Amino acid sequence: MDENSINIPEIFGSLVFNDEVMKKTLPEDIYVSLHKTIAEGKELDTSVANHVAAALKDWAISKGATHYSHWFQPLTGITAEKHDSFIYALDNGGAIMDFSGKELIKGEPDASSFPSGGLRATFEARGYTSWDPTSYAFIKDNCLCIPTVFRSYSGEILDMKTPLLRSMELINKETLRILKFFGLSDVKHVVPTVGPEQEYFLVDKRQAKKRRDLILTGRTLFGAKPPKGQELDDHYFGALRPRVEAFMQELDLELWKLGVYAKTEHNEAAPAQHELAPIFVAANIAADHNQLTMEKMKVIAEKHGLLCLLHEKPFEGVNGSGKHNNWSLRTDTGINLLKPGKNPAANKLFLLILTAFISAVDKHQDLLRITVASASNDHRLGGNEAPPAIMSMFIGTDLEQILSAIASGESTDNLTKREKMNLDVSALPEFSRDTADRNRTSPMAFTGNKFEFRMPGASFSIAEVNVVLNTIVSAELASCAERLESSPDPDTEIDRIISGNYLNHKRIIFNGNNYSAEWEKEAQSRGLLNLKTTVDALPYLTTPGNISLFSSSKIYTKAELLSRQEILYDKYAKEIIIEARTMLEMSKRLIIPGVLKFSAALTSALNNRKNIGFPCEGSAEYEILSRIDPLVSSMLRFADDLSAHVENINNIEGTVQKADYCAHTIIPAMSSLRNAADSLEELVGQDYWPIPTYADLLYGV
């Protein structure tokens, strides 16, 4: 793609029924009503539906669309769509293209095959999708995709989008209560904005297709360490390879057409790893866009002979892939409430929002850990470039000194100056140093005007993460607002709130190396949670406090929380079992037969030596065979053990018990089998090893 020949502003959003298109195609009164719903969260006037449906249909057909779909985000973590054509039959045997307001507003996909966590019995199939007018419709593969929410016949939430929209309304309400005390009465709406940095791997498709583990599980279940990994740090920000650059260019173009603000792309630290970062948008739009980004990554990669891997740890021993969730709050007047300004110490609104966020993270470490919990992300957390499972926050020494001074009643005059960076080269301009450094090991890092939550995995939907962030911060802001509304001296109360939040929750702040063993000990002494696995974390989802938090804020009912917990346990166990079965198939049908062929060749060579009178014992062939045979025997034994464990899962009742069995019995058995196979890989001749190696995959593009 030659970007110089493309008018990017012209193609941007060309496949989106956005505000500009609505203004052109809708009657003025209909446009005004719909715009208020989108921009201000006002209740939708259902009378506009028929007008919008007609305009949507005509616009979509003009773009080549023949079908429409209610595009939704069920609890699978990915999107779902069912395509219906615009065709309507006429009595004379002809057809017309039509689309009604009723079809726009409501759809009825079969709800029985989507996860419900026990909310619905399998035979109870009816579910409803309902138009979400706050997200723009778009065209994908000649189909008009209408963003919708998804719920059961009896009203329970079965999707990721509904709670996100609820949490956005909640934080808007509570933030507006705070802003009144800072003279910002002109603000009518506040939205959480999100920019999810998406990491991913690209490997050669032909090589990857030879690996059953990559195809079925998204990660390599076997693989010895390559001669070169990421030790030289030569891949990070390095020049793009031609196939990768061509992929990125096409990806940008397709995302821009869909209105996705794809901004930054580069090589990541691990070989074959890359990243795409978008410009920040409202959290619900960001969630939609990230789902589209992941889908387009996979589709476009295949067109370039590549396979896009979104698994959190596709290769053992090199960096895993995360999705850094950059979160902030923005008013409809353009103020970023997490921007410190030139004088952070005097910016009391910023400090109040900052310390409310600190308090929220400390109180709800468990919920934040649960939002990033999965079998795949368990492999990544605590590895290179990924934060550990212990929740902590980085705010930088400058901000911490300011908060400490305010809490102790000391002057902040000497803490507000921003240092100039002078490189002592006359041609180079000076610039101001940021208020905080960046900490690559911190789970939750303040990075200048936002918090970067680095724990979510690459394959995750960002919806649930932002539901929790919005909800817990809303709860803290509500508490602050109640104190201010009942105080005779709000200005003094603001200082008390800032001081109290910092002093009561500063244990969560850690500006050092989160990877160090010393930090793990210190975190324990501070009373911070260390929930190392998904199975350790999930029980916390339904504590009385968390049930009360979500039910009182009307984000989830108790039944909906319990259902989500059940789904997460079930998904965890199923993913581990699929991996175990894949390991067994690869071991018995590929690796062991390949090793035995190599052993047979060595045995034949030994027999030839013997026939011509050369000694066998002590020869290279003899030595290699003596090392291979015990490992093959170990592989067979470990495979039998793993097979027995997999079969035994059918005898275990309950998803919690199955997940626990997978974590503490099946995963260790898988590790033993892998270790034996990886040791064999280092001994077996290249022509006999039946699957592409790490070097083949990581350096094959």
Q: What is the pLDDT of residues 424-433, one digit of tens each?
A: 666 666 656 5
> Which amino acid does the sequence have at 63?
K
Domain formed by 168-556, architecture: 2-Layer Sandwich (3.30)
- Find how far residue 585's CA is from the centre of its chain: 30
Neighbours of 699 (CB within 10 A): 14
User: By mean pLDDT, which of 97-101, 588-592, 612-616 is the weakest?
Assistant: 612-616
How would residue 101 be classed by pLDDT, with cut points 50, 70 and 90?
confident
- Residue 683 pLDDT > 70: yes
Query: Mean of the per-residue pLDDT values for the chain?
Result: 91
CB 197 within 8 A of CB 294: no
- Residue whose C-alpha is closest to residue 196's, from 298, 306, 302, 310: 310
Q: How far apart are CA 163 and CA 464, in angstroms?
A: 8
Q: Is the dihedral of CA 235, 241, 245, 246 positive or negative?
A: negative
Q: Over the Cα atoms of the chain, what is R_g?
A: 28
pLDDT tens per residue across span 119-129: 766 566 678 89
pTM, two decimals, is 0.93
Superfamily of domain 3-158: Glutamine synthetase, N-terminal domain (3.10.20.70)
User: Helix or strand or coil: residue 72?
Assistant: strand
Res. 622: pLDDT tops 90 = no
Q: Which helix (H) or strand (E) holds 677?
A: helix 667-681
Residue where the block lists tokens 């000076």: 430
Q: Which residues pair with 129 in a beta bridge?
A: 107, 150
Q: Which of 75-79, 282-286, 566-570, 641-645 has the lowest mean pLDDT?
A: 75-79
Distance between CA 504 and CA 486 in Å, rounded?
Answer: 21
Q: Which long-range contacts (CB under 8 A, 24 or more apart) does 497-502 make?
A: 497/352, 497/355, 497/356, 498/348, 498/351, 498/352, 498/355, 498/403, 498/406, 498/407, 499/406, 499/407, 501/355, 501/356, 501/358, 501/359, 501/476, 502/355, 502/358, 502/403, 502/404, 502/406, 502/407
Answer whether 133's CB lies under 8 Å from 31's CB.
no
Average pLDDT (631-658) is 96
**pLDDT at residue 39 greater than cutoff 90:** no
C-alpha 563/C-alpha 115 separation (Å) is 9
Stronger pLDDT, 321 or 92, i.e. the higher one:
321
Per the model's pLDDT, the better-predicted residue between 41 and 560 turns out to be 560
Residue 475 in contact with residue 426, Cβ under 8 Å?
no
Q: Are 259 and 239 in contact (CB under 8 A)?
A: no
- Written as one string, the DSSP assignment of 356-381 is HHHHHHHHTHHHHHHTT--HHHHHHT
Q: How far apart are the first and last CA of the chain?
A: 19
Q: 618: left (phi > 0), else alpha (psi -120 to 50), else beta?
A: left
Options 1.20.210.10, 1.20.120.1560, 3.50.30.50, 3.30.930.10; CATH of 571-698? 1.20.120.1560
Beta-strand ranges (E) seen in 389-524 are 393-394, 420-421, 431-432, 444-446, 451-453
CA neighbours closer than 13 Å in the CB half-sphere of residue 226: 18
Assign 91 a pLDDT band (cuts: 50, 70, 90).
confident
pLDDT for residue 113 is more than 80: no
Q: What mean pLDDT do residues 559-567 have?
A: 95
Joined together, the tokens standing for residue 324 give: 């850094």
Mean pLDDT of 59-74: 94
- pLDDT value of residue 563: 94
pLDDT of 384-429, one tens digit each? 667 889 999 999 988 999 999 988 888 777 665 656 656 566 666 6
Query: Is residue 523 helix, strand or coil?
Result: helix
Are 213 and 678 spatial neighbours (Cβ–Cβ below 8 Å)? no
Q: Parallel, antiparallel, or unpaired for β 143-152 and 106-107?
A: unpaired
- Residue 253 sits at the vertex; the CA angle it makes with 249 and 258, to the nearest 5 degrees, is 145
- Which residues have C-beta within 8 Å of that of residue 654, sequence separation ≥ 6? none
Alpha-helical runs (H) found in 364-489? 365-370, 375-380, 397-408, 463-485
Residue whose token pair is 């140093």: 433
Question: By the 8 A CB rule, do 332 and 503 touch?
Answer: no
Query: What's the pLDDT at 416?
Result: 58
Structural domain spans, the chain: 3-158, 168-556, 571-698
At 425 the pLDDT is 65
